[in-house]
Amino acid sequence: MLLHVADVLTQDELAQCREMLLRAAWVDGRVTAGQQSSMAKDNLQLPEASEEATTLGALVHAALERNTTFFAGALPRKVFPPLFNCYQGGQSFGFHVDNAVRYDRTTGSAHPVRTDISATLFLSEPDEYDGGELIVEDTYGSHTVKLPAGHMVLYPSSSLHQVTPVTRGRRLASFFWIQSLVREESRRRLLLELDVSIQSLQAAGAHQPDVLRLTGVYHNLLRAWSET
């Protein structure tokens, strides 16, 4: 399931991100790639411990916490600290699958995060660069994603995906992974569809006892399927 999450960042937050990233000191993006991914990866990345990465990572994390679409779709248990990358001058990232487990070392010790969901938060407008499309392949086919700045896409970390070469301009983005309360993607999709349906019925003024029963079904499924 691919989920488009609109307006994750405000215009002021987006401007802060872009200003800091444009003056940041970038390094080779392969520093966070696994053995197989490193052979396909050609981009730039902010060092994880840099002041810019720490400040902007906290900004993105705070934005996620207030976004109801993100919570409904991801059902997050753990969120890996957001990272930031840049593609320019023909750089790309060939087809790969994300590592199953990432280790969050921001607190001084390594805490494992199972990568159920991958996220790309676009920080450049689509007309600012050519190429740079995120291509995700899953059981439903191939999907091409190139979103407005401040918008985000969520997709299964188990899927093959790539970033096509950026032939003009600069593509800035934040990327990170989520360990969900519900590991299985098909169950997360069902819960999201049920959640959206309940909200639509409430907005339409549906009979309250019926909405209450459906809400109970949602929470009982979440209780049965969630990992704590």
Structure tokens at 24: 């940041």
- The residue ranges of DSSP E strands in 149-196, in sequence order, are 152-156, 160-163, 166-180
* C-alpha to C-alpha distance for 75 and 183, rounded to whole angstroms: 10
Closest CA to 219 of 200, 197, 194, 202: 194
User: Residue 124: which region, alpha, beta or left (left: phi > 0; alpha: psi -120 to 50)?
Assistant: beta
Phi, psi of 91 (to 5 degrees): -70, 150
On whether 171 is known to bind a ligand per the annotation, the reply is yes
* C-alpha to C-alpha distance for 111 and 204, rounded to whole angstroms: 44
Max Cα distance, the chain (Å) = 58
On whether 161 is known to bind a ligand per the annotation, the reply is yes
Structure tokens at 210: 């019926």
Q: 92-96 and 117-122: which strand pairing?
A: unpaired
Provide the angle, in degrees to the nearest 10, between the axes of the packed helices 51-65 and 11-22.
Answer: 160
* C-alpha to C-alpha distance for 111 and 2, rounded to whole angstroms: 27
On whether 207 is known to bind a ligand per the annotation, the reply is no
Q: Which residues are annotated as a binding site for 2-oxoglutarate?
A: 171
Q: Which residues are annotated as a binding site?
A: 96, 98, 161, 171
Q: Which residues are annotated as a binding site for Fe cation?
A: 96, 98, 161
